[in-house]
Amino acid sequence: MDFVQIEDFEKLGVFSQAVQDVDGIIHVASPFTYDTKDNEKELIIPAINGVRSILEAAAANPKIQRTVITSSFASVLNVERKAPPYFTYTGNDWNPLTYEEAAAPETSAVVAYRGSKKFAELAAWDFVKEKKPHFDIVTLCPPMTFGPVVHPVASVEKLNESNAMLWKIASGIRPLPVARVPFWIDVRDLAVAYVEALLRPEAGGKRYVPTANDRFSYGLAARIMAENFEWAKGNALEDQEIDTSHGLDGQTASKELGFQYRTFDQTVVDLIRQAKDIETRNAQ
């Protein structure tokens, strides 16, 4: 395995050397921060340019057979779509945000992020449609992602945003946050989905929305922690209703990419055990 440092992944040509002598690409990078002053310059354009940059590099390398691109459930979600009746989001659904709405100064960073994921993914599909490269693409649109980390983490304060929230709950944060959507996936399952999407010929040209079979709330996470860790039993528990008014089609990805989803219990226990070990190690 080789590692290449990319100083600015938006810059065209920056991936040219990195993609030589490979036949597949998994593109996982996209910037996000809540602290933005210009949605277009800080969120939307970087996401679009990052995708275009990797696709341009792939197009210049005749060995590339497929590029798997990370999108997000944010590019699928329509916050105006209400139940009843019950409905299920699939890979055919798109966030209805316009570019102008996402880029507007008054738009929150969270909403602008949804737009950035949508327009970055559309840029990928448009690239394939217009330039007809020698490779195909697959896009994955996962929801909230939790689970143990494999990279070195100096302290629990350095955990990524989604895992950090679970650790805050384990540490007794109150009131509990409320999940915007009940869908999630374990990072280990998502990693398998990436590899299978890259390797399976029949996945080419498809858009998947991988998501676990069960739903989550932060109240459920707190209860799982209290049931599995003696040191977490003293945390006050809050019942939170889990939205079951609509679904997300994770079964298509599971079936076509050949993997099974972990349960939320397993993911929470594995992550919190790891985070506690990190905290204990740093306290010594």
90-135 tens-digit pLDDT: 999 999 999 999 999 999 999 999 999 999 999 999 999 999 999 9
255-280 tens-digit pLDDT: 999 999 999 999 999 999 999 999 99
What 3 state SS string does the chain have?
A: CCCCCCCCCCCCCCCCCCCCCCCEEEECCCCCCCCCCCHHHHHHHHHHHHHHHHHHHHHCCCCCCEEEEECCHHHCCCCCCCCCCCEEECCCCCCCCCHHHHHCCCCCHHHHHHHHHHHHHHHHHHHHHHHCCCCEEEEECCCEEECCCCCCCCCHHHCCHHHHHHHHHHCCCCCCCCCCCCCEEEHHHHHHHHHHHHHCHHHCCCEECCCCCCCCCHHHHHHHHHHHCHHHCCCCCCCCCCCCCEEECCHHHHHHHCCCCCCHHHHHHHHHHHHHHHHHHHHC
Mean pLDDT of 37-56: 93
Domains in the chain: ranges and CATH: 1-141 (3.40.50.720), 146-182+214-284 (no CATH)
The residue among 211 and 10 whose pLDDT is bigger is: 211
pLDDT at 157 over 90: yes
147-156 tens-digit pLDDT: 999 998 999 9
